[in-house]
Amino acid sequence: MIKRYILSGEDFSIAGEASSSFKAVLKKLGIDAGIIRRVAIAMYEAEINTIVHGGGGECEAEIEGNKITLVFRDQGPGIPNLDLAMQEGYSTATEEIRELGFGAGMGLPNIKKYTDSMNIETEPGKGTTVTLVINL
Ligand SMILES: Nc1ncnc2c1ncn2[C@@H]1O[C@H](COP(=O)(O)OP(=O)(O)OP(=O)(O)O)[C@@H](O)[C@H]1O
Ligand SMILES: [Mg+2]
């Protein structure tokens, strides 16, 4: 089963809706609560990053066999230094984004912590694709 979500970069007030909607899908399927929690945290953080840093994009969430795969795509500015971006506390969030409660620099480290695999493909000026896998 694949679910597709449009992640609008225009309206920050609806940021987080895709992850809560997919969480409800997993609950209905009777997926283990611990797995749902990990998926929800990782998906929420990646969704927010796509919206606030990537300017919006899309997410594909697939439940298939023994794993859940989440793919986030945007055509934003890209991430010039991935090692730096992965460090706890590193953030380029603007004052406006920080006022909304984002920008602690903990999203990517937490995504890494709560997933079984994380892959980021990014090119400055072109965009970013984040692929996450959580084993069932
Ligand atoms: N999709 C993206 N496009 C461009 N830059 C990104 C993207 N995702 C992350 N980044 C960069 O990586 C940095 C670290 O991301 P991370 O999610 O760890 O922290 P944050 O989003 O700044 O703060 P928090 O997630 O704690 O609210 C961001 O500040 C941003 O510079
Ligand atoms: Mg973040």
Give tens-digit pLDDT for 68-111.
999 999 999 999 999 999 999 999 999 999 999 999 999 999 99
C-beta of 108 in contact with ligand 1 (< 6 A): yes
Distance 30 CA to ligand 1 centre (A): 32
- Domain of residue 100 covers 2-135
* Res 21 pLDDT > 90: yes
Average pLDDT on 19-39 reads: 98
Average pLDDT, the chain: 97
C-beta of 45 in contact with ligand 1 (< 6 A): yes
Q: Which one of the ligands is nearest to 121 CA? A: 1
Mutate to test the pocket of ligand 1, among 12, 43, 79 (most ligand atoms within 8 A of CB): 79
Mutate to test the pocket of ligand 1, among 47, 49, 71, 111 (most ligand atoms within 8 A of CB): 49
Start-to-end Cα distance in the chain: 14
* Res 12 pLDDT > 90: no
Mutate to test the pocket of ligand 1, among 53, 83, 122 (most ligand atoms within 8 A of CB): 53
* Res 52 pLDDT > 90: yes
The rounded percent of the chain whose pLDDT value lies above 90 is 96
C-beta of 31 in contact with ligand 1 (< 6 A): no
pLDDT at residue 11 in the model = 87
pTM value is 0.97
Q: What CATH number corresponds to the domain at position 112?
A: 3.30.565.10
pLDDT at residue 98 in the model = 94
Q: In three state form, how does the secondary structure of 21-34 look?
A: HHHHHHHHCCCCHH
DSSP category for residue 87 = S
- Number of domains the chain contains: 1
* Res 30 pLDDT > 90: yes
pLDDT at residue 64 in the model = 95
Q: Which long-range contacts (CB under 8 A, 24 or more apart) does 79-83 make?
A: 79/120, 79/122, 79/124, 79/128, 80/124, 82/120, 82/122
C-beta of 87 in contact with ligand 1 (< 6 A): no
